[in-house]
Amino acid sequence: MKARLRFFIVLSSLTIIALASLALGPAGLRTPLDYLDGIDGVERYRLLRTLAAAVVGVSLALGGGVLQQSLRNPLVDPYLLGISTGASLSVAIGLLLGLAGPLEMGFLAIVGGLASYSLVIATAGLAGFTGSSLIIVGVAYSYLFSSVTTLLVISFPDKLQGSLYWIFGSAAYIDREVLSLAVISALAALAVVVIRLNALEALSLGEEAAEGLGVDVRRLRLDSVTFSLMAVATAVALAGPVGFVGLTAPWIARLLGSTRFSQLAVYSIPLGAGLVLLSDIIARTAASPSELPLTPVTSLLGVPVLVYATLERWKRLEAL
């Protein structure tokens, strides 16, 4: 299948999923005519929710792809660097202090995510800031932040029980200011990827080869990871720590034949948006009138993809 046809199918699928997101929900079916006749509260909410889910998917997929390329590890995920779990812990602490507004929770998520990332960077820097040290330190802090958050939820159920949906990801709580910030962060991360695209492509040849081509690998890794995780932090602020998307979307892109980072980035963006939109549709309709959190749904969708990708990669290695 030609690359243009594959990309057309991906975009067409995203369009269909987005239209389904606008049409389906606990409040009943909405058709394009309903939106043309005038946007009431339900239509306005679904428009914002669809946009929010798409932005979250784009941010996580872009962040995951850049992290995998920068650290030269196809199994890296924003979760592994502690940013999502750090954001969750920050929000949990804020709720204990009575900070429960959408904008307050968004601000806490951004601060917590970036603070946890800064802690990971500082600790990894003591070991020379290599890709391996960054991943190992990130995993360690991620488990630490997740464990503390779990202990807080168990210890203070009266104050934190209602935050469980957000902690496991949900696009139900939309704040326009946080959504605007998430859009800006996603565009900024995309701009950095476009500007540093050639350098990121050079990393595919290996760090030594990239440095031989004039790439400052240390600076490139720091810049690309920082801007990507800023996008991830605002995505967490918008919909909570949605898991598996940053890992799954780039892998689906690889299954579609993306061999270069530029191809992977182009495919990952609509794939990430579509994955979160589809998961959100399932989350809001499968258990109607209540909702499911997003991370269990994205995990159920992502695990088969990753298992298949692993098996395919193993077969190719055996064939060599």
Measuring CA to CA, which residue among 232, 236, 242, 248 is closest to residue 301? 248
Residue of higher predicted confidence among 165 and 88: 88
pLDDT value, residue 318 = 54
**What are the structural domain ranges in the chain?**
3-319
Helix axes 217-239, 83-96, angle to 10 degrees: 40
pTM of the model: 0.87
* Whole-angstrom distance, CA of residue 80 vs CA of residue 144: 11
Number of residues written out for the chain? 320
Question: Residue 203 pLDDT more than 90?
Answer: no
Q: Is the pLDDT of residue 320 over 60?
A: no
Q: What is the mean pLDDT of the chain?
A: 83
Question: Binning pLDDT at 50, 70 and 90, where does residue 38 land?
Answer: low
Contact 113, 86 (CB under 8 A): yes
How confident is the model at residue 61, as a pLDDT?
92
Q: Would the pLDDT of 139 be above 80?
A: yes
Q: Could you tell me which residues come within 8 angstroms of residue 79 by beta carbon, excluding any fewer than 6 positions away?
A: 85, 142, 241, 243, 246, 247
- Please give the class, per CATH, of domain 3-319: mainly alpha
**Phi, psi at 283, each rounded to 5°:** -60, -35
- Region 189-202 average pLDDT: 86
